Amino acid sequence: MADEQGTAEVTWTDKGMSNFDRSVDPGLADDLKAGMRAQHSAWNFCGEVRWDAERELFTETVRRYRAEVGQFTAPTLEELMAEVNDQYGWD
């Protein structure tokens, strides 16, 4: 389904990645590979996580105060989380 601008609507999974307990929810990778998006919740940033099928990599856009501050890619969600957290904090 498309929105008013003609772009595809984003479907968000209820699964995610959290710095609170440093976890990646079971089944998240499958949801992302099916075209959904997820949130990476942290104290001082928020990440939007997707699957890039062309490159076969997970990607994360990191934002602080609604401003994009970084783009990351990794072959697994655990590696993606570690790379982002090493840059922006594990809190």
Taking only the tens place, the pLDDT of each residue in 60-80 is 999 999 999 999 999 999 999
50 inside domain = yes
Residues contacting 7, CB < 8 A, separation 6+: none
Residue 57 forms part of a structural domain = yes
**pLDDT above 70 covers what percent of the chain?**
92
Instruction: Pull the structure tokens for residue 81.
Output: 């989380």
* In-domain check, residue 49: yes
Q: Is residue 5 part of a domain?
A: no
- Please check whether residue 6 lies inside any domain of the structure: no
pTM of the model: 0.87
Number of domains the chain is built from = 1
pLDDT at 6: 53
Domain of residue 69, residue span: 12-88
Give 4 or 12, the one with higher predicted confidence: 12
